[in-house]
Chains A and B, each alone.
Chain A
């Protein structure tokens, strides 16, 4: 990383891995499910807001108000990148990072219908990784999404969850999970350490 020695880097990775372990993101990423998951964890509403990329320079923004958490992510990038950006902001939330209370006019305008008259307590933007907070959030997002991708069976196309089959079994994914635990298909756990 740009700052800090190997010891601090290992410490940061350990901390991120510990926090990432507590977030059980589904194999098939679903933004609404993630928002609900984080919302129930924090006990506060979490809203995901797609923004024109010109407003969230360059990548994403987390705005904490007295009522809710707003995560802004760019509309015009690939879905994988969007997922990563959202998870980066979730990383800020779960790591308990502090930010400024200054919201850029462009982001304020984009969030205006949602924010209305709420009191802004925290603003964090995903931009550069020279700050430890940004490094933590970035490592967290990388770990979580990389693990979810690892749990996906090789060659499997990411898409909507499979339909419920007829007969006495639950959804195909559930059946596969039960069979997987029985027949030695344990999920891997992603990278052990940064280099």
Chain B
């Protein structure tokens, strides 16, 4: 079971690091620290797994006693990368390079001291995970373990505090979820570190100390890695999970504003960037729905502006009155009712202008119609234009105003 946890954690770490090694994400120093930390910690767990010791005993017996030291040094290196990540998150300040240099020097010193005390203790390792020392080596082994534990506490604690503080300044979203997962990983990491105190005391008392993961610490180590990697990558895979739903919504909006775009495009075909064939439009929407929808929004507004000379000066008032009738939802209260009424007015203004443009009738009296205020955002624009399109195609009031304007333009025809 311990082997399983050790190797599984190593596999998770290597896969997580490979994900971050993808060329587009490799450019930032932060990403390199994440990869350094993940690889070092994952490899240390694999090195300290009992099965690795058994393998080394068969193939390279003299190296067996050094395995626990290699595992410990890898963990120390991983913790060092953790502090570099913490420094890269904190605000840039003139002292940051100095702090980083101090940390590098401190971590290198601890790594060297750990190796020296380990060798001075004369450690032997029968199974690769249990350290055995003679009576005169106990204090050196105790110093080795104490240095390791203190370094771990400092690095994990610093990182957890920095990320916790940073998460408080990030708005709701996947990034904040990721940061909270990382803080949870940091807390679990402190628990993992605390679990090494018990073997330390046992080593001082008996000269035998467990260096590898046991049944209690291996699951905690796996939890730390899973939480950490999940937090570090949640923005990427979270977007991939929500991406298809967003794509569907965008394609639906693209189609829903289609009738309004088609009507305006028929009146002013020069406002389209691409030659609008049905097949090309469908392919464009499927391949890049966001961009296709963005273009439709812009082209609808272009058509709207091009129609301004044909805006009937009285249509906004007619449409506002019609919007207040029970048949069109009545004078409802709240933002939604007001927005729907505004959409009906907009649809009526456009429908009437299209009639006037078809008849070549420009109005001398300038229309004082002011378009509804919409947030500068494609989602907000799209939601607004969906309402306008619904009114444009389905509202009886809009059809009535259209007939009225047509009758004005062509007296005696209806």
Residues on A close to B: CB < 8 A?
1-2, 29, 53-54, 58-59, 74, 76-81, 83-84, 127-130, 135, 138-139, 142, 145-146, 149-150, 152-159, 162, 165, 167-170, 172, 174-176, 178-186, 190-192, 194-195
Q: In the assembled complex, which residues on chain B have CB atoms less than 8 Å from the CB atom of A186?
A: 24-25, 236
> Distance (Å) between the CB of A48 and the closest chain B CB?
15
Interface residue stretch chosen among B49-57, B272-280, B392-400, B402-410? B272-280
Could you tell me if B294 and A146 are in contact, using CB atoms closer than 8 angstroms?
Answer: yes
Q: In the assembled complex, which residues on chain A have CB atoms less than 8 Å from the CB atom of B271?
A: 58, 128-129
Q: Which 4 pairs of residues, A with B, have the shortest CB-CB distance?
A: A182-B30, A128-B270, A79-B376, A185-B235
Could you tell me if B233 and A184 are in contact, using CB atoms closer than 8 angstroms?
Answer: yes
Extra contacts besides A182-B232, A191-B290 (4): CB < 8 Å: A81-B298, A182-B30, A183-B175, A186-B236
Could you tell me if A184 and B377 are in contact, using CB atoms closer than 8 angstroms?
Answer: no
Residues A184 and B91 in contact in the complex (CB < 8 Å), given A58-B306, A78-B374, A158-B377: no
Q: In the assembled complex, which residues on chain A have CB atoms less than 8 Å from the CB atom of B166?
A: 169, 175, 179
Q: In the assembled complex, which residues on chain A have CB atoms less than 8 Å from the CB atom of B134?
A: none
A-facing mask of B254-291, CB < 8 A → 1, else 0?
00000000000000001111110000100110011011
Q: Which of B242, B305, B375 contacts A157 (CB 8 A)?
A: B375
Could you tell me if B232 and A184 are in contact, using CB atoms closer than 8 angstroms?
Answer: yes
| Cβ of B131 under 8 Å from chain A | no
A-facing mask of B291-326, CB < 8 A → 1, else 0?
100110110011011101100000000000000000
A-facing mask of B83-112, CB < 8 A → 1, else 0?
001001111100000000000000000000
Q: In the assembled complex, which residues on chain A have CB atoms less than 8 Å from the CB atom of B302?
A: 58-59, 81
Could you tell me if A158 and B170 are in contact, using CB atoms closer than 8 angstroms?
Answer: no
| Cβ of B34 under 8 Å from chain A | yes
* Chain B residue total in the interface (Cβ 8 A): 70
| Cβ of B74 under 8 Å from chain A | no
Q: Of all chain B residues, which has the CB nearest A188?
A: B239
Q: In the assembled complex, which residues on chain B have CB atoms less than 8 Å from the CB atom of A138?
A: 273
Could you tell me if A79 and B374 are in contact, using CB atoms closer than 8 angstroms?
Answer: yes
Q: Of all chain B residues, which has the CB nearest A74?
A: B305
Could you tell me if B290 and A146 are in contact, using CB atoms closer than 8 angstroms?
Answer: yes
Residues A167 and B165 in contact in the complex (CB < 8 Å), given A53-B305, A184-B20, A190-B291: yes
Could you tell me if B376 and A78 are in contact, using CB atoms closer than 8 angstroms?
Answer: yes
Could you tell me if B381 and A80 are in contact, using CB atoms closer than 8 angstroms?
Answer: yes
Q: In the assembled complex, which residues on chain A have CB atoms less than 8 Å from the CB atom of B376?
A: 29, 78-80, 83, 158
| Cβ of B411 under 8 Å from chain A | no
Could you tell me if B273 and A172 are in contact, using CB atoms closer than 8 angstroms?
Answer: no
Could you tell me if A1 and B288 are in contact, using CB atoms closer than 8 angstroms?
Answer: no
Residues A180 and B294 in contact in the complex (CB < 8 Å), given A58-B302, A157-B377, A195-B288: no
Could you tell me if A78 and B381 are in contact, using CB atoms closer than 8 angstroms?
Answer: yes
> Distance (Å) between the CB of B301 and the closest chain A CB?
4
| Cβ of B171 under 8 Å from chain A | yes
A selection of 17 A-B contacts at a CB cut-off of 8 Å is A1-B274, A58-B306, A77-B371, A80-B297, A80-B301, A81-B301, A81-B302, A149-B290, A154-B173, A156-B171, A168-B90, A172-B171, A175-B89, A179-B179, A182-B88, A183-B232, A183-B233
Could you tell me if A169 and B165 are in contact, using CB atoms closer than 8 angstroms?
Answer: yes
> A162 vs B34: C-alpha distance in the bound complex, in angstroms?
28
Q: In the assembled complex, which residues on chain B have CB atoms less than 8 Å from the CB atom of A79?
A: 374-376
> A105 vs B129: C-alpha distance in the bound complex, in angstroms?
88
Could you tell me if A183 and B182 are in contact, using CB atoms closer than 8 angstroms?
Answer: yes
Q: Of all chain A residues, which has the CB nearest B279?
A: A195
Q: Which of A74, A139, A170, A194 contacts B91 (CB 8 A)?
A: A170
> Distance (Å) between the CB of B94 and the closest chain A CB?
14
